[in-house]
Amino acid sequence: MGEARRRAAQGLPPREAKSNKSKDTSPRIVPWLPLTQNQTRQFVAVTTRGAWIGIGGLVLFWITVRFIGPAAGWWDLADMP
């Protein structure tokens, strides 16, 4: 016999579902928009981190193109005689 049938036969209420996530109870920014203040803070944090990763990648790319590539003899710069 399944758990649900056993509980129904004994007159017990259905078992409550387990919830691993805690519900976000922070207030909404605008009542008609389903975005909370915690979600906006998390969005800003993730996009800021992504922007810094992009800036770092761009710097590494520039250093490679400007200094490492010509020094290794992979290519010659167009502005160098």
22-38 pLDDT tens trace: 787 889 889 898 889 99
- Would you call 80 helix, strand, or coil by DSSP? coil
DSSP designation for 32: T
Q: Which of 27, 28, 24, 3 is nearest to 13 (CA)?
A: 3
* Radius of gyration of the chain from its Cα atoms, rounded to whole angstroms: 29
Q: Are 27 and 36 in contact (CB under 8 A)?
A: yes
Overall pTM surpassing 0.75 (yes/no): no
Q: Considering the chain, what percentage of its residues have pLDDT values greater than 90? A: 48
Q: Are 36 and 29 in contact (CB under 8 A)?
A: yes
Q: Which regions in the chain score pLDDT beneath 70?
A: 1, 80-81
Token pair, residue 71, equals 């020094």
Token pair, residue 40, equals 């906006």
